[in-house]
């Protein structure tokens, strides 16, 4: 499976797709990136005259790259055109360190902690274009084909 095929299998679309590229993927983890569109709907009110990316959107970006992309990769042998993955976020614990501004590119690095009984748990971190730590935490989800 190519990274383009993997991204195509994601159950999201614009304006709620937060994956541009998958740079590396293996059974142990994934690295990918996304650039936040300066015109994204959530910047209009978060915050007045000082837009920053909401933490919930940063968490979603980390989940899409770090959990969902990795989960699809791990289930690739079970996927067909009629059997698409179903994914549910079950838990997350996140710490935020730096803001992400409109137009900024981020990189998500995810390491698999456990994948058992269709439950995937990953340690994730988000870095800005300078390599500074933006956020890190744990994300878990259930995956089903």
Confidence (pTM): 0.94
Q: Which of 10, 37, 36, 39 is nearest to 126 (CA)?
A: 36
Instruction: Give the residue-averaged pLDDT of 117-128.
Output: 96
Q: Which of 60, 65, 36 is nearest to 128 (CA)?
A: 36
Question: Strand locations in the chain, DSSP E?
Answer: 21-26, 29-35, 86-96, 105-116, 119-128, 133-144
Specify the DSSP element, H or E, that contains 82: none
- 62-120 pLDDT, tens digit each: 999 999 999 999 998 887 666 677 788 888 999 999 999 999 999 999 999 999 988 99
Query: Which of 3, 40, 46, 115 is the catalytic position?
Result: 46
Instruction: Give the residue-averaged pLDDT of 11-32.
Output: 96
Q: Does domain 3-144 have CATH number 2.60.40.10?
A: no
Give the residue, 45 or 82, on which the prediction is more confident.
45
46 as an active site residue: the answer is: yes
């Amino acid at each position: 499976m190519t990274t383009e095929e993997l991204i195509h299998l994601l159950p999201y679309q614009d304006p709620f797709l937060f994956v541009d590229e998958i740079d590396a993927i293996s059974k142990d983890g994934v690295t990918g990136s996304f650039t936040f569109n300066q015109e994204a709907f959530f910047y209009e009110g978060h915050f007045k005259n000082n837009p920053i990316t909401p933490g919930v959107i940063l968490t979603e970006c980390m989940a899409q790259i770090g959990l969902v992309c990795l989960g699809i990769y791990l289930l690739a042998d079970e996927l067909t055109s009629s059997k698409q993955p179903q994914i549910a976020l079950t838990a997350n614990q996140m710490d935020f360190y730096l803001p992400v501004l409109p137009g900024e590119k981020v990189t998500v690095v995810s390491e698999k902690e456990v994948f058992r009984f269709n439950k995937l748990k990953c340690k994730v971190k988000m870095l800005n274009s300078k390599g500074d730590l933006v956020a890190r935490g744990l994300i878990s989800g259930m995956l089903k084909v």
